[in-house]
Structure 1
Amino acid sequence: MTTRVIRTVGRVAVHGVRTGIRRTQHFPDLPQLPPGRVLDLPGRGEVFVIDSGAPEGVVDAPTLLLFHGLATTSYLTWFSTIDELRATHRVVMLDQRWHGRGIVSERFVLEDCVDDAAATLDALGIDRVVAVGYSMGGALAQLFWRRHPERTGGLVLASTAACWKANLGDAMFYPVLGVANARLRGHYRARVAEVRAGLPVVPEPGEEMPAWAWAEFRSTSAWAMPEVLGALGRFDARPWLAEIDVPTAVVITARDHAIPTARQRALAAAIPDAIVHETPGGHASVVFDVHRWRPVFLAAVDEVVARLEA
């Protein structure tokens, strides 16, 4: 029973993204992506990091720390906005554990991911950032503030929630998933490590957008999904959201079936003085509805940065 659940989770994730990549007629153009490199974090492992550097001609540009979504990579989540963001900000992002070229640890733990990000900032000599997260990355951005408040100048949380386990169905699903993960984690990890070992050190630039996107998506093993979903099922920021004391914007996707819009609105309502923006699309708007989503997201980033400078 538990193995069947795990296989279903993987198949649904892969099929959904594959269908979107093949059928969509609304892909943005693939920009000239900033190059990435492997960075050794002592005691933690090697991470794949993209650092755009300070934008030309901009004095004291703020740094944005971007956290990517579930089953994707930094490039795949943020390619559609990277040009605009790095024109006025320094942008730093890394592939999270069990994703793409991220660290393949014994377990996937959200706290480890945000501590990897903090260690990356140490290595790059960056003190303070605006933490920006999409979907799973929104949970990581919240947790980054919680664990590293002195380094968090602001937050931008997009298509995300404060808790993944919020109804009866979730309450039944996640315990079953936890039992399966405890039994099968070693197998998951081996398969994730196998995919990771077969990747080039640095992603090869793509020419045709759908082909590049599909290759980037496949760099994360579907076998990572049960372990990652299990970690998200244990995440619950609701007890401390009211303590967030930095400028925060929440970007809501109004037709979201992956993270219900009601949960996104509840997140925004719980954060003091949060700026709220809403876009009309679904959970994959960052890629498949980017022409409507991008200007709203960029406005949210600008408003948080403006509050920092006020």
Structure 2
Amino acid sequence: MGAPLQFARRLMELPAAPVPPGEMIELPGRGGATYVSDNPGPTPDAPVVVLLHALATTGLLTWYPAVGELSKRYRVITLDQRSHGRGITQGTFSLYDCADDVAALLDVLGLEKALIAGYSMGSIVAQRVWRQHRERVTGLVLAASTDRFMTTTTERLFHQATGAAMLGFQRPITNRIADFGARRTAAGLGGDADLYEWALEEMRRTSPLAVGQAVAALGRHHSRPWVSRIDVPTAVVIPTKDRVIPPQRQFDLAARIPGATVHEVAAGHAAVVLQADEFVPVFAQALNTVQARVRA
């Protein structure tokens, strides 16, 4: 319980930003519907970016601090990936299915192509979107990413132990974490109580079983044999204080992708939310760099 409780405490530091609206959208042939937030850009022909979220969170819980800034230049789309939040629940979690879901969402929205960006687990799915649907991808932004996991004994033990532990957890544990956060908020620790309650509710939406399946799937991820064939403009955003995915491995990934630009942010693995003030400007710069290369 130590790590989950620590994460709940960190929720008290959520950045103040509006939570964009969204709706459930059916993805034909994919086994259900998912929650989508589609935020228009400054013009009808603004470039489109699909943002893919991190493990055990949701599309908006990962990206809500960034949507407002990115919407100044882009049409910004988030979705809950399967087994997460209000995503598709059919079957077990699969990175391959997550990539196919993104392509299906583009079909439903009438979009031929888009920039695909992801954070942590989302960056792994973004790699697979390129691999499985190259014709739909104009460019990639990979943040807190890697081309493989379980490269050391420590990592193998982490994936095996975390997967087993999460598979054994029951919903009441998740509720206790959320209740802890709610009590902290009610005690008057400052900030926007509605925002905290929304974030805690988003946490509750992903079951420990789903997290265990996702951890196992990530442990099997291995894109090193083909990342060197990525042929779209790509940027790699590296949190240089990341303790989950070693920064050197992220630099190595960037070096394997032809022409990839590197954008460093002095922050940890949860920077996308908990250090959004530092992360969002760097991420926006990376996205703008990719879009400029796309246009060129």
TM-score w.r.t. length of structure 1: 0.83
Aligned mates of 1:134, 1:19 — CA distance in 2: 22
Instruction: Trace 1:99-138 onto structure 2 (pairs within 5 A).
Output: 99-138=84-123
Distance 1:177 1:299, change over 3 A: closer
- Which 10-residue stretch deviates more, 165-174 or 70-79? 165-174
What is the aligned-residue identity percentage? 43
Residue type matched to 2:37 in 1?
A: I
Query: 1:171: how far off?
Result: 3.5
1:50-69 matches, cutoff 5 A: 50-53=37-40, 55-56=41-42, 58=43, 60-69=45-54
Q: Of the candidates 113, 118, 130, which is equivalent to residue 145 of structure 1?
A: 130
For 1:149-298, what aligned pairs fall within 5 Å after superposition?
149-174=134-159, 208-298=194-284
Stretch of structure 1 that moved more, 43-52 or 270-279: 43-52
CA contact (8 A) 1:191 1:223 kept: no
Alignment gaps of 5+ in structure 1? 1-10, 196-205
Q: Structure 1 CA distance, aligned partners of 2:206 and 2:34? A: 14
Code of the aligned partner of 2:127: Q
Residue 42 (structure 1) shift: 2.2
**Cα pair 1:253 1:280 within 8 Å, conserved:** yes
Kindly report the root-mean-square deviation, in angstroms, between the aligned alpha carbons of the 2 structures.
2.4
C-alpha separation in 2, matches of 1:61 and 1:91: 10
User: How many residues of Structure 1 are paired with residues of Structure 2 in the alignment?
Assistant: 278
Contact 2:144–2:269 at 8 Å: present in 1 too? yes
Shift of 1:191: 6.0
TM-score when normalising by structure 2? 0.86
The answer for unaligned runs of 5 or more in structure 2 is: 176-191
1:30 aligns with 2:17: yes
- The CA deviation string for residues 57-116 of structure 1, in whole angstroms up to 9 with x for no partner, is x25211101100001101110010100112221112210111110111221001001101
CA–CA distance in structure 2, aligned partners of residues 13 and 71 of structure 1: 13
Contact 2:19 2:60 in 1 (8 A): no
How far, CA to CA, are the matches of 1:160 and 1:13 in structure 2? 22
Letter in 2 for 1:114: A
**Quick one: distance in 2 between partners of 1:32 and 1:175?**
35
In the alignment, which residue of structure 2 is the partner of 1:299? Answer: 285
**Is the contact between residue 13 and residue 222 of structure 1 (CA under 8 Å) also seen in structure 2?**
no
Change (3 A) 1:69 1:32: closer
Deviation at 1:41, TM superposition (A): 1.8
* Partners of 2:114 and 2:139 within 8 A in 1: yes
Which residue is 2:186 aligned to?
none
Q: Deviations over 1:209-267 (max 9, x none)?
A: 33332222222223322111000001111110100000000000011111111221111
Q: SS in structure 1 opposite 2:88? A: coil
Tell whether the 8 Å contact from 1:154 to 1:247 is kept in structure 2 after alignment.
yes
Which runs of at least 4 in structure 1 moved beyond 4 Å after TM superposition?
172-178
CA distance in 1, matches of 2:251, 2:232: 18
